[in-house]
Structure 1
Amino acid sequence: MVETKDKIGAVEAPGWKPYILGIFCNWCSYAGADGAGTARMQRPAVLRIIRVMCSGRVEPEFVFRGLKNGADGVLVSTCHPGDCHYVTGNYKTFRKAPLISKFLEQMGINPKRFRLTNVSASEGAELTEIIEDFVEELHEIGPSPFKNKKE
């Protein structure tokens, strides 16, 4: 059922690029994205990054709202385990991720539209690879079923 609902309206326009909402930890992941940009590493997708002071502050509602507002995917990026500036913030996010995926599935949204990863400040190249992999997966799924829908 999830697959059927995601395929409805998932006709790719020529040149379609997935729009990804990134919610990144300020201390590690955002710094990694900044490093990737400084090194002029290319990203194949439209990535809009929202910086949060700690990934532990990421609420499931942020993911749902991003998808509802037309993002093709949401990428939440935390510090590596044990490296959280606020000690346990990333562990809070690790515990929320399976619940977010399960809720998306129950709502008929492909849970592959949500991805959780961890990137340190020095891993700009790794972040670029993660984004490229996510883009490939989103191309397989197709555009968001919420694109261009008005309430």
Structure 2
Amino acid sequence: MVESEAGRWIPELEERSLSTSVGDGAKWLVNKLKGKMQKPLADLLKEHNLPVGLFPREATNYEFVPETRRLTVYIPSPCEVGYRDGSELRFDATVSGALGEGRLTEVEGIKTKVLVWARVTAVKADAAKVHFTAGIKRSRSRDAYEVVRGGITVDEF
């Protein structure tokens, strides 16, 4: 528990989520005033031929810089997501990478379970499969990632 500016005691995680929400709200307001509205993350992924369920449902805020192709996705807390095909991904609170057509490279903030948790360095999608590079290359059915799933909070990434 930590004391808020208003003098009320709140759980530390709630305070972090609150400050993230306030920050995200401020970004939204500035973008609205500039006339720039951010499209939903699912739409951005679709435009780049990636499955909409690649990130957990909780990942609603992101920054994308078209000039550098840099995508940064914000998740309230580290979480783990299980997919229909039995695969599991673990996400840090911040995930970043270079977004291209059908691929996300230079990935930081995602792990996949291959006996142990291994850091994902690239994601590539084609019509039938999603390919994860994590020390070794692993392909999974794309269908499993077409549905956005909720994440289960984990203590650490």
TM over 0.5: no
- What range describes the TM-score normalised by the shorter chain of this pair? under 0.3
Higher relative contact order (CA 8 A, sep 6+): 1
- State TM-score, norm by structure 1: 0.25
Rg larger in 1 or in 2?
2
Structure having the higher strand fraction is: 2
TM-score (structure 2 length as normaliser): 0.24
